[in-house]
Amino acid sequence: MHVLIINGSPRVKKFSNTDKIIARFAEGFCENGNTVDVFEVSDRKQWDDIRAAFAVNKDIIIALPLYVECIPGLLLEFLETVDPKNDGTKLSFILQSGFAEGAQLRCGEAYLEKLAGYLGCEYGGTLVKGDNFSIRLTESEDQDRQTVPYRQMGVVFAGKGSFDDEECRKFTGPEEFPLMVRLLIGFVFRTLAKKNFTKASQAWGCDKPLDYRPYGQEN
Ligand SMILES: Cc1cc2nc3c(=O)[nH]c(=O)nc-3n(C[C@H](O)[C@H](O)[C@H](O)COP(=O)(O)O)c2cc1C
C-alpha cells in the first residue's frame, strides 16, 4: 500500500509539529513494506509536485494543525488549486492541535469530512488529537513521549486502510477536562497568562489592552 501524505501546516518543515507526527506515523505505516511520499504545503516550490501527486494517488492523508480553531488558510489556498477527483480516491486526515480537549477539534473534523466530498474523494476518517504544543520545543525522550503513540496509529491505518477504528477514536483522549481542571485553567488564563501576554505584547510595541475592540459597538 502506498500513501501520499501532505503536511498542511504553514510552519516550515524544520519547526513543524505536524512534520514530527507524520514521521512517527510513517514509521508504523511502513513497518510491513508499505511506502509513503511526504510533501509540505509550507514550501510553495512543492505545490506543482503536490498537485501532480494528488492527481495520481488513490490513498491520501492530509495531516494538519488546528490554527485559531480553523483549518490553516495556506492549506485551503493550496486546495483551491487542485482539481476535484471523483475516481474513488480515499482522503483521510490527521488533525492535531495544541490544546488537549478533543471537543475543540470536532468542528474542524466535521468540516474535513465535507472537504473530502468537495475534493471528489471518499472520506477515510480523521485521527484527532491535541496536546501537541511543545513537540518542536522538546528533544529526545520528551519529544518521543508525544510522537511515538502516532507510530501505532500508522500500524492501525496500514491494517484498516482508514481511521474508522475504535483504537483511533480512543487515541483522542478526553473530550473535556473535569470541571475543576477547566476552572483552574480559566483562572490561570484570566490572571497569570493574561499578565504574561500583556507583557509580551507591550514588548512588541502594543499600547492597547489585550481585549481592545476597535470595531466593537462600545467604541
Ligand atoms: C497561529 C496559531 C493558532 C493556533 N490555534 C490553535 C487553536 O485554536 N487550538 C489549539 O488547540 N491549538 C492551536 N494552535 C497550536 C497548534 O495547533 C499546535 O501547536 C500544532 O501542533 C502546530 O503544528 P505545526 O507546528 O505543524 O504548525 C495554534 C498555533 C498557532 C501558531
Nearest CA, atom 4, ligand 1: 67
- Shared domain check, 208 and 120: no
Closest atom, ligand 1, to C-alpha of 10: 27
- Shared domain check, 74 and 7: yes
- Shared domain check, 208 and 111: no
Count how many domains the chain has.
2
Where does the pLDDT of residue 217 fall: very low under 50, low under 70, confident under 90, or very high at 90 and above?
Answer: low
Closest atom, ligand 1, to C-alpha of 97: 17
Q: How far is the CA of 195 from the centre of ligand 1 (A)?
A: 21
Q: Which residues line ligand 1 (CB under 6 A)?
A: 9, 11, 16-18, 65-69, 96-99, 104, 130, 132-133, 136
- Shared domain check, 161 and 183: no
- Shared domain check, 159 and 103: yes
> Probe ligand 1: pick from 68, 93, 127, max atoms within 8 Å of CB?
68
Percent of the chain with pLDDT strictly greater than 70: 99
> Probe ligand 1: pick from 97, 99, 107, 172, max atoms within 8 Å of CB?
97
- Shared domain check, 184 and 77: no
Q: How far is the CA of 30 from the centre of ligand 1 (A)?
A: 27
- Shared domain check, 196 and 157: no
> What are the residues facing 59 on neighbouring strands?
90
- Shared domain check, 154 and 119: yes
Q: How far is the CA of 130 from the centre of ligand 1 (A)?
A: 9
Closest atom, ligand 1, to C-alpha of 99: 11
Closest atom, ligand 1, to C-alpha of 21: 26
CA distance 152 to 148: 8
- Helix/strand/coil (H, E, C) string of the chain? CEEEEEECCCCCHHHCHHHHHHHHHHHHHHHHCCEEEEEECCCHHHHHHHHHHHHHCCEEEEEEECECCECCHHHHHHHCCCCCCCCCCEEEEEEECCCCCHHHHHHHHHHHHHHHHHCCCEEEEEEEECCCCCHHHCCHHHHHHHHCHHHHHHHHHHHHCCCCCHHHHHHCCCCCCCHHHHHHHHHHHHCHHHHHHHHHHHHCCCCCCCCCCCCCCCC
- Shared domain check, 208 and 163: no
pLDDT for 151-173, tens place per residue? 999 999 999 999 999 999 999 99
* Nearest CA among 113, 49, 121 for reference residue 81: 49
CA distance 33 to 29: 8
- Shared domain check, 115 and 27: yes
CA distance 98 to 23: 18
What pLDDT is stored for residue 36 in this prediction?
98
Residue 118 sits in a domain of what CATH number? 3.40.50.360
pLDDT for 65-121, tens place per residue? 999 999 999 999 999 999 999 999 999 999 999 999 999 999 999 999 999 999 999
pLDDT at 29 over 60: yes
What pLDDT is stored for residue 26 in this prediction?
98
Residue with cell string 468540516: 111
Q: Which domain holds residue 206?
A: 179-216
Contacts of 45 (CB under 8 A, 6+ apart): none
- Shared domain check, 151 and 46: yes
What pLDDT is stored for residue 218 in this prediction?
61
What pLDDT is stored for residue 152 in this prediction?
98
- Shared domain check, 188 and 157: no
Q: How far is the CA of 133 from the centre of ligand 1 (A)?
A: 7
Within a 10 A sphere around the Cβ of 37, how many other Cβ atoms?
15
pLDDT for 181-209, tens place per residue? 999 999 999 999 999 999 999 999 999 98
Q: 72, 65 in Cβ contact below 8 A?
A: yes
